[in-house]
Amino acid sequence: MPDRIERLQVVRIDSGIAMRRAHGSGEIARRVGRVIVRILTADGIEGLGEAAPWAPFGNTADTTAAAIDGALRAVLEGADVTRIAALADAMDYALMGHPEAKAAVEMALWDIAGRRAGLPVHALLGGAVRETIPLSFSIADPDFAADLDRARAMVAEGIGIFKVKTGFLTHADDLDRLAALRETCPAADIRADYNQGLAPEEALRFCRDLDALELGFIEQPVRRGQERVLAMIAAALDTPVMADESVYSAREMLDCAQAGWADCVSIKLMKTGGILRAREADAVAAAAGMPTYGGTLWEGGIALAAAAHLIAAAPNIRLGCEFYMPRYVFARDVTAEPFPYEGGAVRVPNEPGLGVALDEDALEADLVASRG
């Protein structure tokens, strides 16, 4: 008999952060909203999922929790938990958009599948091609001196990739910050991320100045919807240009490849709507010869474990990941064990399912509301 979803619990939490974070599309100073999903099967297996939306990408924790508790609950209650692809399609049919909500539900279903099989999720996705993922830390504290101190300490830990958030200060400030980081960490792979922060009329000129700095890539200099400008920048620069906000889906990945918007693309579960859709998008990128990168919004250990399993089984997602939030930004996470890092990299979990468990006390401490 197929197993059924007996209970769907939607837990809305607020997580404190240990430092301010500034980006081209906004700043967060104190807390971020997240949604934890708990799916319990009739035979007693619990799967965990997490959504970490950010308003510049389209949703908030409140709208995400409402989407799961409303339209998606109607699809899921009593459903066969083994039919992950069918449920992903059903969620898309029942509700337009809300990829963060769908990603949280889908990762809980993968967690159940792995726990039932006694296998890590990456084994269900075809098996691991890598056991560790190089970690990138984003330089985004308005107190840049504090970030330089962090970078020095992180280099000593083995971290060799840093992404500087640009576009929220002046162009001269951005150049100074990149130069200072290069002087502080001369062997590091340094990248820049504008988070859509440049006006189209100035973007190419500013990015040309960065072209001489030998950066790993320049990410999303202009807004979603300005892909003509993005393509012009990509064609003009020697430095690779990465698309992020411009590419959510496999369909947009195809547009990116065909029109030359970028040289590489950031893959995020919170953009695509889950592991299945992320694999579809990455397959298009791989076919077009565009490497991809493990991006994030504000995820903690549950969602990042799901993303680590995805990257472990995806040869084309080879530009590293930015899964640093649980260790370096959150005041605390809600997982029972710390997110696994070693030697400047993320260690891919090998326990059954996602390989994570909840810290019930931490969950209760951050609780805003719970349904189901």
d(CA 289, CA 279): 15
Q: Are 278 and 310 in contact (CB under 8 A)?
A: yes
pLDDT value at residue 29? 59
And the tokens for 290? 């565009």
pLDDT(1) > 70? no
Q: What is the mean pLDDT of the chain?
A: 95
CB 276 within 8 A of CB 88: yes
Each domain of the chain, given as residue ranges in start order, spans 5-118+359-371, 123-347
Those residues whose C-beta lies under 8 Å from the C-beta of residue 81, and which sit 6 or more positions away, are: 2, 3, 4, 5, 39, 41, 47, 109, 112, 113
Report residue 305 CA to chain centroid gap. 11
Helix axes 227-236, 250-259, angle to 10 degrees: 50
Q: Quick one: pLDDT at residue 28?
A: 66
Condensed to tens digits (0 to 9), the pLDDT of residues 274-307 reads 999 999 999 999 999 999 999 999 999 999 999 9
Homologous superfamily of 123-347: Enolase-like C-terminal domain (3.20.20.120)
Each residue of 167-221: pLDDT tens digit?
989 999 999 999 999 999 999 999 999 999 999 999 999 999 999 999 999 999 9
43-46 long-range contacts (CB < 8 A, ≥24 apart) are 43/3, 45/3, 45/112, 45/115, 45/116, 46/112
254 pLDDT above the threshold of 70: yes
Helices of type H across 185-219:
200-211
pLDDT tens-digit readout, 110-169: 999 999 999 999 999 999 999 999 999 999 888 899 999 999 999 999 999 999 999 989
pLDDT of residue 326: 94
Q: Please tell me the predicted confidence (pLDDT) of residue 24.
A: 55
The pLDDT-based confidence of 57 (bands split at 50, 70, 90) is: confident
pLDDT for 327-345, tens place per residue? 999 999 999 999 999 999 9
What DSSP state is assigned to residue 330? B
Using alpha carbons, select from 299, 282, 298 the residue that is nearest to residue 290. 282
Query: Which range, of 27-36, 207-216, 353-362, averages the lowest pLDDT?
Result: 27-36
CATH of domain 5-118+359-371: 3.30.390.10
pLDDT at residue 54, as a whole number = 84
Give the CA radius of gyration of the chain: 20
Q: 31 pLDDT exceeds 90?
A: no
